[in-house]
Structure 1
Amino acid sequence: MDILVLLPFSDDERATIEAAAPDGSRITYTTKADVTDEQVARAEVIVGNLAPARLAAAGHLRLLQLNSAGFDQYMAPGTLPAGAHLACAVGAYGQAVSEHLLTMILMLMKHLDAYRDDFCEHAWRDHGSVTTIAGARVLVLGAGDIGSHFAQLARALGAHVAGVRRHAGDIPDGFERMHTMDELPDLLPQADVIVSFLPSSPDTRGLVNAAFLARCKRGAYFANGGRGDLVVQSDLICALEDGHIAGAALDVTTPEPLPADDPLWDAPNIFITPHVAGQFHLPVVLTNIARITAENLRHLAAGEPLRNDVPLSR
C-alpha cells in the first residue's frame, strides 16, 4: 500500500501508523506545501487535508484520511476519484476544542479579557461583579465528541448541562438531559450559557439570528466552536450592544480570516480567537489523528467499514 502522510507526526505517532500499515507498504512523509503531483498520483492513501483541486491527480486513491472533523470542501461530486473513501477525524479534537471554549466563556464571566487589556495599559481598574458557571444551565448544541467533552468539563464545575442534537437517543457522559433540534426554541429561554459545536449544513446556516437571540434569556452567554456560518453576525452585534446577550465567545467567524475592519471586532463583550481551538496546538490532537489513521489502515486492508467514513455523492 502506498501511503502519503502530510502531517507533522512525531516519531511515536509515525510508529503507530507504520505498525498498522500492511506489510510491504511504502510510507512517504512530506508536507502539504512540499508534496508533489507525482506523490499524489501514486498514493493509495493520503493522510491530511490535501487541497481538493490537487486530488485530480490522485488516480490510485482508495482513502483520503482528513485531519479535520469537518469535510465540507470535499463533498462536491467528482472531488474524489471514483471508489475512493473519505474519512474525517471526528474524535481527535474533543479535549482541545472543549477546553478552549470553556476557557473563553470563563474569561468573559470573570472579565479577564478586560483585565488583560488593563494589564497591557498598566491600568488598575475594577470591572465589578462577575458570574459563575457553577449552578448555571448550560445548553450544548451538538452532542458528539466535542460536545460531550465540553459537557463533562462544565458538569465538573457544577453546571447543569443539557444537549441538543438531531436525534435524542442515549445520553452521553456529562449531560443530564438530551433534546432534539425541534425543542430548541423552548430551551433557549432557560439557558444561562449556549455553546454550539454544530457543523455547517443547510439546517444550521444562519440558525443564530435575531429570532434565536431574542428567545435567549437576557444576560445569557453564547459561544461558537463549530462553524462561523451558524451565526448572523450583524444580529449578534445588535444583541450584544443592547445587553440582551451578556457576552459572546467565538473561535469561528464568517469570513475567515475576519477582516480587520469588520464590525464584529468592536462589538461589546465579545472575545474572538482565529479558529485555533482545533488545530494541532495541543499535542494530543495529532496523537489522536495518528490512532484514527492506524485504525482505518487496518480496516481498509481487511475490507472492513472505516471509522468516520463520510457518505459521498458520486
Structure 2
Amino acid sequence: MNKTKALVLIRVSDEEKEIFTQFKDKIDFTFKDKEKYTITKEDVCNAQIIIGYPPRKFLKDANNLEWLQMISSGVDKYMEANVVPKQTILTNAKGSYGDSQSEFMLSLLLSLMKKIHIYRDNQLKAKWHDEGSVMMLKGSTAIVIGLGDIGSEFSRLLKAFGVHVIGVRRDVTKKCNHVDELYSFTQLDSIIPRADIIAMVVPSTPETQNLINAKRIAMMKEGSVLVNTGRGVTVDNEALCDSIEQGKISGAALDVFNIEPLPKDHRAWKIKNLIITPHSAGQDYMEHNWKKTLDLIEYNLRAYLDGKKLKNVVDRDIYEFKE
C-alpha cells in the first residue's frame, strides 16, 4: 500500500511531531521548516498534502495536491494569485485566533480612546501633561465589520463593556449572538454615521477591497475612531490619514496596510493620533493559538484518512480574483 505524501512546512518541536507521526502508517511526512530549508518545486509537486505556506510559484503545477492546510485565517494571497489547483481542498486555521486577536483589537481600541499612545510618547520625552478628555466605551456604538471567529469574539468583548454593537457580514442569514443589529456590506452607508467606533476584521476579497473608501470615511461621525486588523486593502488609508489630520475623526489603529512593511517615508508614521502595529495581531506561534492550530491539523489529518469532511474548508466562491 502506497503511503500518502505530506509536506509539513511549519516549525514543530519533537514533541509536536508526535501529532503527525501517529499517522505514519498511512502518511509519509517530510518536515521542512520554511525558515530553515529551501522549498523546491519537486517538494511541492510530489506532495498530496501540504501543511503551511508553499511557494506560490510552484502550486500551479502541483497536480498531485489533494489538500492544502494553511495555518492562518486569511488565504487571500494564494487566492489572488489564482494558483491553488482546482482539485485541491483548501482549509484555513479559522478558530485559532479569535481569543488573541480580539484582545489585541481591544488593546488598540482602548489605547486609542484613552490616549495611552500619546501619554507613552510624552513619557519618552519626560513630559508631564494632561491630554484632556477621552472617549468612553460604555454607552458607545460600534460597527464590527466581519463576524467570523475574531469579529464575533471582539463583539462579545465590546458587549461586556456596555457597547451597542452593530455587526456587518456578507451573509446576514448567519446570525451572531454578540451583536445587537446585523447588516450586510451593501447597507454600510446607512449605519456608518451612527458609529463611534468602526472595527475591521475582514479578508481581502473582491467584495471587501476598498470597502471603507473615501466616501464612507467622509460619512464617519466626527470624533469617531477606526481599528483595522484584517487586511490593508479594505480601507482607503490615504483618505483615512486625511480625515485624522483634518480633525474630522479622532484617530485610528492600523495593524495592516496596502503595502507591507509600511514604507519609512509614509506620512502615517508621523500622525499623532494613529497607532501602527506591524501586522502582529494574529501571532501564529503564540502558545495559545498554536495549540488550537495543531489540534485543528490533527483533526483534519484524521478526517482526511477517514474520508470525512475537513474543518474550515474555504469557500472559493468569495475569492473570484482574475489572473
TM-score, normalised with respect to structure 2? 0.89
Once the two structures are overlaid, the 10-residue window that deviates more, 105-114 or 171-180, is: 171-180
Match of 1:79 in 2: 83
Conserved in 2, the CA contact under 8 Å of 1:13 and 1:287?
no
Residues 32-72 of structure 1, C-alpha deviation per residue, up to 9 Å, x if partnerless?
A: 13044254343221111112113356453221111121112
**Aligned with 2:250: secondary structure?**
strand
Match of 1:88 among 76, 80, 92: 92
Q: Distance in 1 between matches of 2:82 and 2:217?
A: 39
Once the two structures are overlaid, the 10-residue window that deviates more, 112-121 or 38-47, is: 38-47
Match of 2:121 among 89, 112, 117: 117
Gaps of 5+ in 2: none
Residues 216-250 of structure 1, C-alpha deviation per residue, up to 9 Å, x if partnerless?
A: 11111101111101111221111101222111010
**Could you say what the CA RMSD is over the residues aligned between the two structures, in angstroms?**
2.3
Once the two structures are overlaid, the 10-residue window that deviates more, 71-80 or 141-150, is: 71-80
Shift in CA distance, 82/206, structure 1 to aligned 2, threshold 3 Å: closer
Q: Which runs of 4+ in 1 moved over 6 A?
A: none
Shift in CA distance, 205/82, structure 1 to aligned 2, threshold 3 Å: closer
Residues 256-287 of structure 1, C-alpha deviation per residue, up to 9 Å, x if partnerless?
A: 11100011222341001010111325322211
Once the two structures are overlaid, the 10-residue window that deviates more, 190-199 or 74-83, is: 74-83
Q: What letter corresponds to residue 270 of structure 2 in structure 1?
A: D
Match of 1:171 among 175, 179, 197: 175
Match of 1:309 in 2: 313
Once the two structures are overlaid, the 10-residue window that deviates more, 51-60 or 269-278, is: 51-60
Once the two structures are overlaid, the 10-residue window that deviates more, 139-148 or 59-68, is: 59-68
Match of 2:233 in 1: 229
Shift in CA distance, 288/233, structure 1 to aligned 2, threshold 3 Å: same
Residues 180-200 of structure 1, C-alpha deviation per residue, up to 9 Å, x if partnerless?
A: 222211111111111011111
Match of 2:215 among 199, 211, 215: 211
Match of 1:154 in 2: 158
Find out whether 1:134 has 2:138 as its counterpart. yes
Conserved in 1, the CA contact under 8 Å of 2:32 and 2:39?
no
Conserved in 2, the CA contact under 8 Å of 1:91 and 1:288?
yes
Match of 2:6 in 1: 3
Could you tell me the percent identity over the aligned residues?
37
Cα distance, 1:251 vs structure 2: 0.4
Conserved in 1, the CA contact under 8 Å of 2:66 and 2:89?
yes
**Aligned with 1:245: secondary structure?**
coil
Conserved in 1, the CA contact under 8 Å of 2:195 and 2:220?
yes
Q: Distance in 2 between matches of 1:12 and 1:132?
A: 46
Q: What letter corresponds to residue 129 of structure 1 in structure 2?
A: S
Where relative contact order (Cα < 8 A, 6+ residues apart) is larger, the structure is 1
Match of 1:257 among 257, 261, 282: 261
Shift in CA distance, 177/52, structure 1 to aligned 2, threshold 3 Å: same
Gaps of 5+ in 1: none
Q: Distance in 1 between matches of 2:116 and 2:15?
A: 38
Match of 1:270 in 2: 274
Q: Distance in 2 between matches of 1:24 and 1:199?
A: 35
Q: What letter corresponds to residue 276 of structure 1 in structure 2?
A: S
